[in-house]
């Protein structure tokens, strides 16, 4: 019962952002695909990743998280990584460099509140880190640009080590597994899972329809192909990355192995009805897929979801992947083309279907005109004359476009 004249108090919400904590693996060095799939709108991601990369940040944004708690520094200063900037510009609260205690002090599924660099459970402060915002991230990135020279020096040393370790693979293709899918003199599209992959796959729909290339899905790239309505002929990735449903439909399944051919988690994949072939190499899975296509004689390899810029190399989150990617691109040479270039060239072309439609439209106009003049010899003569003219015109246009 509300008494007359008595004011009603409204309890103010506590400051900060509230959500459900989702705990990643401690010391995992990053957010793996299985963890990212667990996240949903309103969650607070609790991770342990030094130098938060763009791919992880994009996945967190796509999941709809309202906050990120990082046990490690999201920008260490080694190089200007792009993940933290994406998060803070999207309005996601970033509590940084909390320390490993967050994994023992916080349980998965707990309701938490982030405010002023602290993580609260109810009224209790569980752990305190550093509250990142646009200004702090901008300052740290500016300082990190000074670390580029050291990273390039490390890149040079790592490249020499990788080349010594994988010389026979890069030069002679030793270790590349045999597959049932023929690729010799064919176009091959290799799709890696990364920000923008889904859009690139959708944009390549016309190219795929016209040329029917061999499709290779790498990790979540195979899922992107499936979601776009395509079935990859080959899927490649670690056991943890592969979707068994997609893998069972592929003609070939390839998994990375150590130099002795050992595949982590292989029995689990076989229990799910998938019998893969091993690819022993220290290269990253995306580069394995490129080398696989090249070794099997692909005429053209289109890379989808790859960032070959210097910033992209450094922002991959795996320093060992940089020499792998660099040397793989040198090995493929002119055989390798990135998807944006293919899209630019392919969209500027007049497709064969367009030519056919134009021919039919002109012939239809000729028929209508002939009927208007009256049936009989005039119709036949007009169709013959118009048909020859249209055929000559279409041939000239086709040769100018294709040749």
pLDDT in tens, 127-183: 999 999 999 999 999 888 876 667 667 767 777 788 888 888 988 889 999 999 999
Residue 341 is predicted with a pLDDT of 86
Q: Is the pLDDT of residue 403 over 50?
A: no
Confidence of residue 70 (pLDDT cuts 50, 70, 90): very high
Confidence of residue 29 (pLDDT cuts 50, 70, 90): low
Residue 30 is predicted with a pLDDT of 57
Name which of 14, 48, 34, 219 is nearest 124 in CA terms.
14
Lowest mean pLDDT across 17-31, 163-177, 326-340: 17-31
Q: Is the pLDDT of residue 381 over 70?
A: no
Q: What is the mean pLDDT of the chain?
A: 82
Confidence of residue 358 (pLDDT cuts 50, 70, 90): low
Residue 114 is predicted with a pLDDT of 96
State what percent of residues in the chain have pLDDT above 70.
75
- pTM attached to this predicted model: 0.65
Lowest mean pLDDT across 137-151, 233-247, 302-316: 302-316
Confidence of residue 352 (pLDDT cuts 50, 70, 90): low
Q: Is the pLDDT of residue 324 over 70?
A: yes
Residue 305 is predicted with a pLDDT of 87
Lowest mean pLDDT across 24-28, 239-243, 389-393: 389-393
Residue 363 is predicted with a pLDDT of 55
Residue 94 is predicted with a pLDDT of 97
41-67 per-position pLDDT tens digit? 999 999 999 889 888 898 899 999 999
The top-scoring range by mean pLDDT among 182-191, 312-321, 388-397 is 182-191
């Amino acid at each position: 019962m509300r008494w007359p004249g008595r004011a009603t108090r409204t309890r103010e919400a506590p400051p900060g952002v509230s959500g459900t904590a989702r705990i990643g693996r401690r010391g995992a060095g990053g957010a793996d695909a299985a963890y990212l799939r667990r996240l949903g709108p309103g969650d607070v991601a609790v991770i342990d990743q030094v130098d938060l990369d763009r791919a992880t940040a994009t996945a967190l944004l796509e999941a709809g998280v309202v906050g990120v708690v990082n046990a490690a520094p999201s920008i260490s200063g080694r190089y200007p990584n792009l993940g933290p900037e994406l998060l803070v510009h999207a309005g996601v609260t970033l509590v940084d460099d909390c320390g490993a205690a967050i994994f023992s002090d916080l349980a998965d599924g707990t309701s938490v509140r982030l405010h002023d660099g602290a993580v609260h459970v109810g009224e209790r402060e569980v752990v305190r880190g550093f509250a990142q915002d646009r200004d702090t991230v901008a300052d740290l990135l500016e300082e990190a640009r000074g670390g580029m020279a050291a990273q390039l020096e490390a890149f040079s040393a790592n490249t020499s080590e990788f080349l010594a370790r994988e010389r026979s693979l890069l030069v002679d293709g030793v270790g590349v597994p045999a597959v049932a899918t023929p690729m010799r003199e064919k176009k091959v599209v290799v799709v890696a899972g990364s920000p923008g992959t889904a859009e690139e796959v959708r944009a390549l729909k016309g190219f795929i329809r016209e040329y029917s290339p061999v499709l290779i899905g790498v990790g979540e790239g195979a899922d992107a192909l499936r979601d776009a309505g395509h079935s990859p002929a080959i899927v490649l990735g670690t056991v943890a990355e592969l979707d068994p449903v997609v893998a069972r439909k592929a003609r070939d399944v390839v998994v990375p192995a150590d130099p002795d051919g050992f595949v982590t988690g292989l029995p689990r994949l076989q229990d799910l009805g998938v019998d893969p072939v091993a690819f022993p190499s220290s290269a990253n899975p995306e580069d394995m897929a490129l080398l696989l296509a090249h070794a099997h004689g692909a005429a053209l390899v289109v890379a989808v979801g790859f960032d070959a810029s210097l910033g992209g190399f450094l922002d991959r989150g795996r320093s060992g992947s940089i020499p792998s990617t660099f040397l793989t691109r040198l090995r493929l040479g002119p055989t390798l083309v990135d998807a944006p270039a293919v899209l630019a060239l392919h969209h500027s072309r007049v497709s064969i279907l367009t030519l056919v439609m134009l021919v039919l439209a002109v012939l239809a106009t000729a028929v209508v005109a002939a009927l208007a003049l009256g049936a009989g010899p005039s119709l036949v003569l007009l169709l013959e004359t118009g048909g020859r003219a249209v055929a000559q015109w279409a041939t000239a246009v086709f040769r100018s476009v294709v040749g």
